[in-house]
Amino acid sequence: MISAGDFRNGLTVEMDGAVYQILEFQHVKPGKGAAFVRTKLKNIINGGVVEKTFRPTEKFPQARIDRNDMQYLYSDGDLFNFMNVETYDQIALNKETIGDTLKFVKENDMVKVCSYNGSVFAIEPPMFVELEITETEPGFKGDTATGATKPAVVETGASVNVPLFVEIGDRIKIDTRTGEYLSRA
């Protein structure tokens, strides 16, 4: 059991027959009255976000989330296929479950498949990936001092803003959480 006073971002708890992940929390101590915890919670099954407040002494059971390493094999229409590299079990997930989390993931890359009681609810790509630039406009000499960027398309089809000196064929490192260019690889 976890008390509301011990809430942290990313923690998952069971509440009212559903499983919620804590997106944001704030301990509030007003000048008058008792302290409370203000939270923003995401229902991991349906994706809805709610805001709730709790007394710091309220307790909730922690939800057990399984995160399994799986290899992304291929997409077939609206289905995305993954394989457990230890047991060779394969699963197919639909586009609603995946969302846009695979926009920086190539075939045969490893991802984490998150499930609760055997029901998959999310895919976590690696934090950083190295991809090749397939389309971009040519950069101009002398424009590098301003820190300007230009749009580029990587090999997975996703768009990224890159510095002007990056050209077609360059390999770049991308942060998958924000979709930002980090460096050349």
Contact 20, 43 (CB under 8 A): yes
**Rounded Cα–Cα distance for residues 86 and 125 (Å):** 19
- What pLDDT score does 47 carry? 76
Non-local (6+) Cβ contacts of 151 within 8 A are: 136, 137, 159, 160, 161, 162
**Rounded Cα–Cα distance for residues 100 and 96 (Å):** 9
Amino acid at 97: T
Domain ranges of the chain: 2-60, 66-124, 128-184
Q: What residue has token string 């710091």?
A: 56
Contact 66, 15 (CB under 8 A): no
Token pair listed for 158: 């996703």
Beta bridge partners of 92: 81
Please tell me the CATH code under which domain 66-124 is placed.
2.40.50.140
Amino acid at 93: L
**Rounded Cα–Cα distance for residues 124 and 106 (Å):** 13
CATH class of 2-60: mainly beta
Beta bridge partners of 90: 83
Distance of CA 95 to the CA centre of its chain: 15
- What pLDDT score does 142 carry? 59
User: Consecutive sets of 10 residues in the chain, 185 residues long: mean pLDDT of each?
Assistant: 85 87 88 90 84 91 88 89 90 83 88 85 87 85 68 90 88 88 85
**Fold match flag (66-124 vs 128-184):** yes
pTM of the model: 0.70
CATH class of 128-184: mainly beta
